[in-house]
Amino acid sequence: MRISDMANRIQPSLTRRLFDMAQRYDNVIDFTLGDPDYETPDYVKKAGCDAIMAGKTKYAANAGIAELRQVVAARIEDETGVRYDPASEIQITVGAMEGLFLTLCCLVNPGDEIIIPSPHWVNYGHMTEILSGHPVFVEAKECDDFVVKPEAVRAAITDKTVAIIINSPNNPTGAVYDAKTIEEICKMAVEHDFAIIWDECYKSILYDGAKYTSILDFPGMKDHAVVINSCSKRYSMTGWRVGYLAGPAELVTNMPKLQENIAACVTVPSQYAAIKALSSDDTEPDRMRAGFESRRNVLVKGINDIDKLSVRSPKGTFYAMVNIQGTGMTSEEFAYALLEKEQVAVVPGITYGPACEGYVRIAFTMNEDKIEEGVRRIRRFVESL
């Protein structure tokens, strides 16, 4: 059998590799995946179960069931004041993951360029390459709080640029984009007519009372941006695989054709669960957010107390990038040795781009006792070097 060059080229991320390696140990503290330990709220689980028992177990519209698209449009309007037409401007997706992929499918011709501020979520680059596009990584430095400089974006624009992907709050750094930077990027998108793919799947996990700045807060951006979100992180629904996006009709109306050939539709009981999640005003998601904030504080304090390591307090998400440069090890050396010696799994920064060599990512998705135990083991490991 001849396997395509593309399939051969795409490699599993180090995040998955370290996660898989971690499963071989009994007493492991696994800081790899962004999969919170919180349960999906009961009222959401019940809505999914009720849908199954009511026989809502058949194919549905490629764009997603109409009621969910209406709920999504209403929610976006409520949060931003921007009105999307549920029939032509909203697509229900298999997580934010498929929202990103469908968007790139609609934008990228072979050789087109996608600007990706880096440190970045690995899949952005892979998805672009699957479509024979070129990811153009632009470094966002730690001294700039991992927010990309507008001048650096400008310098990366060519006549092949079709989009930039902005992820705020950011995986892996926890950075949150400020209004001034977003405004500059908006100007460039209008001037050079490229799309802004706005991945806001961590939007609800913000700390220190911060208020979210959305791409839709900027005039005219409804015509230039695709806003991507999902139920995964806010409602701890990673395994339900349900997400959604909003964008201009000329782009979004192409997606049902593509969805027909990819997944047909998002799992129907998951869509009913999402209706419940997105239309409920239950405070469970806020409790989870508060829980992450207190876990973050435990982790940041613990790591900054260790000689040779440092970490900036992430402003959002449940990830922290720990600076390990003081140990003189590469991020892969550090991660493999830490796992072997202390059974603590972290992700080598190099996964997220060359700018992250010298860092490891920690996902604080478990309870504080486990985080404290993980930090104790990391301290022992660093002191033993």
Whole-number Å distance between alpha carbons of 34 and 22: 15
**What would the x/- binding string for ligand PLP be over residues 216 to 235, using CB under 6 A?**
--------------x-x---
- Taking the least distance from each CB to ligand PLP, the nearer of 161 and 167 is 167
Q: Does 199 bind ligand PLP (CB under 6 A)?
A: yes
Cα 196 vs. chain centroid, distance in angstroms?
15
| Encoded amino acid at 370, one letter | K
Distance in Å, CB of 155 to ligand PLP, minimum: 24
Contacts with 35 (C-beta within 8 Å, 6 or more apart), sequence order: 238, 363, 365
Per-residue tokens: 95 = 């997580």
CB of 295 to ligand PLP, least distance (A): 17
Verify binding: residue 245, ligand PLP, rule CB under 6 A. no
Please report the sign of the dihedral spanned by the C-alpha atoms of residue 322, residue 326, residue 331, residue 333: negative
* Contact flag: residue 243 with ligand PLP (CB under 6 A): yes
The SS3 of residue 168 is coil
Contact 342, 354 (CB under 8 A): no
Specify the residue, 175 or 382, whose C-beta has the smaller distance to ligand PLP: 175
Shortest Å distance, C-beta 191 to ligand PLP: 26
Check residue 171 for interaction with ligand PLP (CB under 6 A). yes
Q: Which is nearer to ligand PLP, 329 or 362 (CB)?
A: 362
Q: CB of residue 82 vs ligand PLP: minimum separation in angstroms?
A: 21
By CB under 6 A, residue 97 contacts ligand PLP? yes
Residue nearest to ligand PLP (CB): 95
Binding test (CB under 6 A) with ligand PLP, winner from 167, 173, 351, 365: 167
Binding flag, residue 34, ligand PLP (CB under 6 A):
yes
Among 102, 189, 201, 275, binds ligand PLP (CB under 6 A): 201
CB-nearer residue toward ligand PLP: 306 or 350: 350
Q: Which amino acid is at 201?
A: C
Q: What is the rounded CA–CA span in Å between residue 200 and residue 215?
A: 9
SS3 at position 204: coil
Starting at the earlier edge strand, list the strands of the sheet with 310-311.
310-311, 319-323, 359-363, 347-348
Tokens of 78: 């409520």
Q: Is 95 in the site for ligand PLP (CB under 6 A)?
A: yes
Nearer to ligand PLP, 33 or 82 (CB): 33
Q: Based on CB atoms, which residue is closest to ligand PLP, 65 or 274?
A: 274
Here the tokens at position 69 are 């698209």
Shortest distance (Å) from residue 201 CB to ligand PLP: 5
Q: Least distance from C-beta 167 to ligand PLP, angstroms?
A: 5
Report d(CA 85, CA 74) in Å as an integer: 10
Closest CA to 235 of 190, 194, 297, 278: 278
Q: Residue 181 is encoded by which pair of tokens?
A: 């930077």
Contact residues toward ligand PLP (CB under 6 A) are: 34, 95-97, 121, 167, 171, 199, 201, 230, 232, 238, 243
